[in-house]
Structure formats: structure tokens, C-alpha cells
Amino acid sequence: MIKIKHIRIFDTTLRDGEQAPGNTMTLEQKVDIFTQLDDLNMDIIEVGFPSSSPVDFNATEEIAKHGHKTKISAFVRPLRSDIDQSLLALRHSNLFQLQTLAVGSEIHLKYKRKMTKQEAINEILNGIEYIRAQGIEDISLGVEDASRGSLEYLKELIIPSVEAGATTIVIPDTVGCAIPEKFADLVRTIKEWVGNSIKVSVHCHNDMGLALGNSLAAIRAGADEVQTTLCGIGERAGNLACEELITVLYYHPEFYGYESRVDPKKMYQACKRLIETLNLNIAKHKSIIGDYVFSTQAGIHQHGLINNPTVYEFVEPKIFGLKRKMLIGRHSGRHVIRERLAKFVDRVDQETVEKIYKTVMHSEKPEIYNNDQLLVEMFEEYKK
């Protein structure tokens, strides 16, 4: 029997998700979304980048001050000023970590930071040592653009960082260039370097639509933590959508050997709150949270669902506190009309159903018959 272990879910909606264009939140909105995340039973919630703006500082301070059941994380560059600023914002909390950032690829060394490998290594070691000197023991190191870094450089950077005091190593696919098989190999290699006492986390972007695939491959390769955002918001094509990962782990814990403690029944409402807050345009077919994900209009599918939902439904709406919807359109059949009417009418005869069906089939806008009151009124009219 496979032993199912716990996988840590690290949420970065309020930092990486919010920094994308159009996602800026007010202090009150950040605190409100944090409350939603805290209620989901996340393992760690990244509350922001306190030294980046007064709003981020104040939101971090407000969250720390009012209490939280989930460990919180603040993002810092390996600079004393950033670290001091974040610790000031976090002073009211005793349940937090700091996540700092290292240069993880030769591309970033040359074109972004314009520094040598040794300069980058020295910078992060000095930052970690300063954090440790402040009495902070939970230190997460994000190795930016690690999926494009050479193994030689990554090893030179990561092993000394662990020796200096980093307790989690985050492997970001910063530009979404990784593919599952290669990303899994990278995770295995880094796990071998750092050993079982150090957590390995992954942070995947969705530029090629592979954030979920890469994250699942990383879990199979031994990752201890996965970083996500609600609705997959984030830079460019976004991050791994938390609701998608939670669904896969809910249905396939034996295969991956992991389960999450995040509550799927509260996931949809948390996503909806974020969608409303940011006025997000979510595709109607978007996994889990799209308007029509648990709806069907095709007659053949509806017939099967009415007989037994498992015929055309694997992911169950009830897991998210939702209900499936049988919608009426030109591709619908008589079964759905009868099913909808049966909720309001004692006896639904076939002759009247047939009349309604023909009306729907010849209508330019058959979707209007999803209005139950209109459908019942039509039934009563045709019944006369």
C-alpha cells in the first residue's frame, strides 16, 4: 500500500499574481483576498514584497497584526534594507518565513544583473547570513530562471546557500520554457544535492500551457512544495492555477503519492472573489472555475448524465460545492426538457414536451428557454 504524504501548497496570488498588469489591489482588497486564502488551509501564503511599495508594507503589517492560521511569507531581495523593512512589517507575527531571490541563470547574470557568477553567489550568501543573524530560521531561496541555468552554476549557487542557512530551495521556471521530463530531471538532481532535510519547491509559469504538467512532473520527482496562484494569475500567461493542482491531487493521490490539505469546497468561492475583485476575464471553459465547466447542452451527453453522471462526468461539481447544469439549446434533446419541467410540474406528458422541443429547435435563441419560469409558462400554454 502506497503511503500518501503531504505536499506543501505555497500561494503567491498576493505577490507574483498581483504584480501582473491589471492585477493591482488596494490594501483592503489584499487583506480580503488573504482572508480567503487563509480559510482555504494553504500551507504558506506569500503576502507581498513589503519594500516595493507602502501598500505592500501596510498590507503585510495588517495581516501580521490581525493574526492568521497559515504561515505567511514576505519576499525580499538579499539586501539589508529589504530584510529590515520586511521584518518591521512582520513584527506582529510569529509564524512567517522570508523568501529571498538569487540569480539562477547565466542569461540573467549577463543581461539583467551584469555580474559574475561569484558576485551573484556572494550576494545571496551575504543575504542569507544576514537573515539568519536576525534570528530567522525559515528561509526560502528562489533561484530565479533556474530552468535555464547550467547545472554547474546552479550547484555552485545552491549548495553553499543551504550551508549558509536556506531551508527551502525554490526552482522557478520563470519564463515558462520547461517541459515536464526535463523539469523533473532538474528537480531530482537538486534533491540529490540538498538531501531530504531541505525542502525543494517549484514555481511554474504557463507560457506554453505546461505549468500544471511541469508541477506534476516535479511532484513525481520528489518536490516537497508547489507554488501556485488562484485562477493562475501572474506575469504573461500566468502561474500554475491552484484550483487545477488541487483537483488533480484530490483525484489521484495514489499515483502521485501526495495529498493536499487545501479545502476544495472553498476553492471556487475564493476564485470567484478574486475574479470579482480584479474584474478578471475568465474563459467560460476554464478548468474548474469557468461558467460552463459543469454545464452541458448536448442532448447525447445530457441523456447519459441523467441516467448516471459518471457517463460524462469525472470531475464532480459537488467537490467544489457546485451543481451541474443541464442547459437547453439546439443540440439538446427531449430528455433535458422533461427533466427541467419535472422540477415544477406534477405530470410531464410526451406530447407537450414534443411541442416545446420543436419550438426550441426552430428558435433563433434557444438559450432563452433556460429560464425555468418561461419553460413552465410554455408548458402550460401548450397543455391547454
CB atoms under 10 Å from CB of 373, counted, come to: 8
CA-based nearest residue to 199, from 168, 220, 221? 168
Q: How many whole angstroms separate alpha carbon 17 and alpha carbon 227?
A: 11
Q: What is the mean pLDDT of the chain?
A: 96
Rounded alpha-carbon distances, angstroms, from residue 71 to 20, 45, 268:
24, 6, 22
Query: Residue 347 in 3-state DSSP?
Result: coil
**Rounded average pLDDT over 104-118:** 98
Residue by residue, DSSP assigns 267-293 as HHHHHHHHHHHHT----TT-TTTSTTT
Give the sign of the dihedral formed by CA 336, CA 337, CA 341, CA 342: negative
Q: How many whole angstroms separate alpha carbon 56 and alpha carbon 4?
A: 37
Tell me, what amino acid is at 289?
I
Under the banding of pLDDT at 50, 70 and 90, the label for residue 254 is: very high
Residue 219 has pLDDT above 90, yes or no: yes
Q: How many whole angstroms separate alpha carbon 229 and alpha carbon 233?
A: 6
Contact yes or no for 321/292 (Cβ under 8 A): no
Q: How many whole angstroms separate alpha carbon 304 and alpha carbon 247?
A: 23
pLDDT of residue 3: 86
pLDDT digits (tens, 9 = 90+) for 49-87: 999 999 999 999 999 998 899 999 999 999 999 999 999
Angle between helices 372-383 and 334-342 (to 10 degrees): 100
Contact yes or no for 144/169 (Cβ under 8 A): no
By the 10 Å C-beta count (0-12 exposed, 13-18 middle, 19+ buried), 363 is classed as middle
Higher-confidence position of 156 and 366: 156
Q: Which residue has the cell 533561484?
A: 143
pLDDT of residue 322: 96
Q: Which residue has the cell 407537450?
A: 352
Under the banding of pLDDT at 50, 70 and 90, the label for residue 139 is: very high
pLDDT digits (tens, 9 = 90+) for 2-52: 789 999 999 999 999 999 999 999 999 999 999 999 999 999 999 999 999
Rounded alpha-carbon distances, angstroms, from residue 369 to 238, 284, 326, 358:
37, 20, 11, 12
pLDDT of residue 1: 62
pLDDT of residue 2: 72
Contact yes or no for 239/274 (Cβ under 8 A): no
Q: pTM score, two decimals?
A: 0.94
CB atoms under 10 Å from CB of 356, counted, come to: 22
Q: Where are the domains of the chain?
A: 5-278, 295-383
| Residue 193, all three cell numbers | 544535492
**Rounded average pLDDT over 347-370:** 90
Contact yes or no for 201/214 (Cβ under 8 A): no
Under the banding of pLDDT at 50, 70 and 90, the label for residue 284 is: very high
Query: Residue 297 in 3-state DSSP?
Result: coil
The CATH number of 5-278 is which of 3.20.20.70, 3.30.360.10, 3.40.710.10, 1.20.200.10? 3.20.20.70
Residue 126 has pLDDT above 90, yes or no: yes
pLDDT digits (tens, 9 = 90+) for 112-122: 999 999 999 99
Q: How many whole angstroms separate alpha carbon 26 and alpha carbon 31?
A: 9
Higher-confidence position of 299 and 103: 103
pLDDT digits (tens, 9 = 90+) for 303-350: 899 899 999 999 999 999 999 998 998 899 898 999 899 999 989 999
Instruction: Name the helix (H) or strand (E) containing 32.
Output: helix 27-39
pLDDT of residue 366: 87
Residue 232 has pLDDT above 80, yes or no: yes
Q: Checking phi first, is residue 288 left (phi over 0); if not, alpha (psi -120 to 50) or beta?
A: left
